[in-house]
Amino acid sequence: MLVLGIESSCDETAVSIVEKKNSLCKGKIIKEIVWSQIKSHQPFGGVVPELSSREHVRLLDKITKKTLRESKINLKEIDGIAATIGPGLLGGLLIGSNYAKAVCIASKKPFLAVNHLQAHILISRMENTIPFPFLVLLISGGHTQLVIAKNYNKFEILGESVDDALGEAFDKTAKLFGLKYPGGPEIEKFAKKFSKKNSYLLPKPMYKRNNLNFSFSGLKTAVRKIVEKGISKKDKFNLAYDFQSCILKCLEDRCAKAMDSFIEKYHCGSFILSGGVASNMFLRNGIKKLTERKGMKFFVPKISLCVDNASMIAWTGIEKLENDEKGDPISSIPQPRWPLNKI
């Protein structure tokens, strides 16, 4: 099975062809191209929706043709075309999905409408055998959720951020530090240069709460108050370290609680870390250790598959076709808000 995937929900224009030879083998990326628009958005300190739409218009057809040409795969050999139809920025979703639909109509291929969050979660199954149900912590620029994946298309949200998504908290904190967008990788680099741990007393929102929700805006505000008083570069390194370790403590607390109830219900299982923020090595290592202490198997995609990419969209298309889906209606409309439990 060969599926072509298109991702255009935010500031990456990405196309990928993924193959799965039979039901027993894993998925393989034949060719993927991710064009990051970061440089165009950086002067504005964040993603500018209109600018991202223009970039998708400019690049999508070129990148798709290049992916097909360099993979030496003819469109005739493709079994389906998958595109993100939500959640995300409406302009990008319209451009990517309409392009995919047009190619599907012209080539008589099934159109596969993919939920971006579902794709972030399922991509771990491309390279590993992970049976359902499994527990997931999805941490991205727009979402922070603890989820049970019951099937490829059935998800239960256990808890989520009541304010900022974790990636957003990283990005806003980086801005306070005067660092460029996207801020997550910049904060991680800063934190590596720390000289003293626990220099700052930062709040741990939602810590030990009875539910499974998260909150990060208070933490960001606490950092802002410290920065506004004026701190040296060396202090910023220490503050970045304390910020990350405070986040890890909050994530560990919420995940441990979710793991306990998951194990009680299902007896064992796997824990998956996913989304752009899962690229952070400090957080990856911390959550891995926690998962192993709880006796669960830990999976996290390689960094290029944590951040936005089209291979996860193509792979989700493969999972849909494998489950006898015949394709989605050409009339499927993009959904800027499309929660995992409404797939």
Structure tokens at 67: 């992916």
Task: Return the one option of ligand KG4, Zn ion, none that residue 80 interacts with (CB less than 5 to 8 A, by type).
Answer: none
Cα Rg of the chain, angstroms: 20
Find the shortest distance in angstroms from Cβ 141 to ligand KG4.
Answer: 3
Find the shortest distance in angstroms from Cβ 322 to ligand KG4.
Answer: 24
Structure tokens at 326: 């015949």
Helix (H) or strand (E) holding 22: none
Binding track, positions 276-295, relative to ligand KG4; x by CB under 6 A = xx-xx---------------
User: For ligand KG4, how many residues bind (rule: CB under 6 A)?
Assistant: 19
Nearer to ligand KG4, 215 or 279 (CB): 279
What DSSP string runs through 303-317?
HHHHSS-SHHHHHHH
Taking CB under 6 A as the criterion, the residue among 27, 96, 183, 205 binding ligand KG4 is: 183
Taking CB under 5 A as the criterion, the residue among 16, 71, 124, 140 binding Zn ion is: 140
Binders in 91-150 for ligand KG4, by CB under 6 A: 140-142
Does 308 bind Zn ion (CB under 5 A)? Our answer is yes
Task: Return the one option of Zn ion, ligand KG4, none that residue 110 interacts with (CB less than 5 to 8 A, by type).
Answer: none
Does 317 bind ligand KG4 (CB under 6 A)? Our answer is no
Q: Between β-strands 80-86 and 27-36, what pairing exists: parallel, antiparallel or unpaired?
A: unpaired
Does 71 bind ligand KG4 (CB under 6 A)? Our answer is no
133 upstream amide cis, omega within 30 of 0? yes
Task: Return the one option of ligand KG4, Zn ion, none that residue 183 interacts with (CB less than 5 to 8 A, by type).
Answer: ligand KG4
Going from the C-alpha of 85 to that of each of 144, 190, 278, 310, 337, the distances in angstroms are 20, 35, 23, 13, 10
Find the shortest distance in angstroms from Cβ 301 to ligand KG4.
Answer: 11
Taking CB under 6 A as the criterion, the residue among 182, 269, 286, 327 binding ligand KG4 is: 182
For residues 279 and 306, the answer to whether their CB atoms sit within 8 Å is: yes
**DSSP reduced 3-state for 211:** coil
Residues 6+ apart with CB under 8 A from 247: 166, 169, 216, 219, 283
Q: How far apart are CA 256 and CA 280, in angstroms?
A: 19
Task: Return the one option of ligand KG4, Zn ion, none that residue 188 interacts with (CB less than 5 to 8 A, by type).
Answer: ligand KG4
* Contact footprint for Zn ion (CB under 5 A): 140, 308
